[in-house]
Amino acid sequence: MASTPKAADVPQGYFAEDVSDEVVLARMAESMDPRLRHVMTAVVKHLHALVKEVEPTQQEWEQAISFLTETGHMCNEWRQEFILLSDILGVSMLVDAINNRKPSGATETTVLGPFHVSGAPRYPNGANICLDGKGEPLLVTGRVTNTDGQPIANALLDVWQANDEGFYDVQQKGVQPDMNLRGLFTTDADGRFWFRSVKPRFYAIPDDGPVGQLLGQLGRHPYRPAHIHFIVGADGYEPITTHLFTPDCPYLTSDAVFGVKETLIADFRPVDDPERATELGFTNPFVTVNWDFALARR
């Protein structure tokens, strides 16, 4: 797709259907930024090829203009409808994949999502990030290692998740305590971390806008399977942004934003152990998950 059109092939720069992309590309100045030239060449070629393949009616073109306009008008400080569009078309995951091609052995990445908050509280291992006591108790344990399985001490884990009703604290200001189900943890000398929480629930992405309407027209639901978010980093290592998924969620194979990777489905186990529950300050039964993150050297 990337061959440069020859301006000489396009008589006087006048438009014609069969050379439509070449006419447009021939107008780009020699002096322009080379990266933007590369990007816009690909954009124009794919856009014209798409239009030629689909042959939209004038009315369908107007519908496309309206869809983009409504998507733009839906965006504000709290809502990013174009990111949502990128998410439901798999583009966000593709960009993530392209930018996170890791050596074999590193934990796979997935999308950051819109609910990360900077400045979550720093906790000692063992702390409970569930501040309102609501939900099914969960103990998360694990290690951060390098790709050879050697433990990494002082690795930082930034954790956030939805509650057992499928909402993040920022979506329920005044209902959930601020900074509910968020925290920063540091691994010990053996690379270990552990904290207490609740089992997360699936939730719907915002579907009251044009992107939600498109999802409906595609015959798709708006749900994301239950997961816990992590950003894990350590000095000298590539940080990773990823999720852990529960294995029993009905939406696991149909995540509205395609965020699931098979290697990120964890073994969340029910535990019936009244003594251990009491030690943890949990009601019995409860749930445990053990998970090791592997980081690649920079």
Q: Is 83 in the site for a second copy (CB under 8 A)?
A: yes
Query: How far is residue 26's CA from residue 8's CA, in Å, rounded to a whole number?
Result: 9
Stretch that binds a second copy, among 20-28, 130-138, 151-159, 181-189 (CB under 8 A): 20-28
Least CB distance from residue 102 to a second copy, whole Å? Answer: 12
Q: Is 116 in the site for a second copy (CB under 8 A)?
A: no
How far does Cα 168 stand from its chain's mean position?
A: 15
Write the DSSP symbol of residue 102. Answer: P
Residues 196-255 that bind a second copy (CB under 8 A): 217-220, 253-254
Q: Is 118 in the site for a second copy (CB under 8 A)?
A: no
Least CB distance from residue 222 to a second copy, whole Å? Answer: 12
Residue from 2, 3, 150, 275 binding a second copy (CB under 8 A): 2
Q: Is 158 in the site for a second copy (CB under 8 A)?
A: no
Q: Where are the beta strands (DSSP E) in the chain?
A: 137-146, 156-161, 182-186, 192-198, 203-204, 223-224, 227-233, 240-245, 269-271, 286-295
Least CB distance from residue 293 to a second copy, whole Å? Answer: 19
Helix 58-74 with 210-217: angle, nearest 10 deg: 130
- The continuous run of DSSP H or E covering 60 comes out as helix 58-74
Least CB distance from residue 255 to a second copy, whole Å? Answer: 8
Least CB distance from residue 185 to a second copy, whole Å? Answer: 25
Q: Is 117 in the site for a second copy (CB under 8 A)?
A: no
- Could you tell me the end-to-end alpha-carbon distance of the chain, in angstroms, rounded to an integer? 33
Q: What share of the chain is helix, strand, coil (3-state, %, to 5)?
A: 30, 20, 45
Nearer residue to a second copy within complex by CB, 169 or 255: 255
Least CB distance from residue 205 to a second copy, whole Å? Answer: 14
Residues 35-54 that bind a second copy (CB under 8 A): 36, 38-40, 42-44, 46-54
Q: How many residues bind a second copy (CB under 8 A)?
A: 76
Q: Which two tokens stand for residue 147?
A: 């790709």
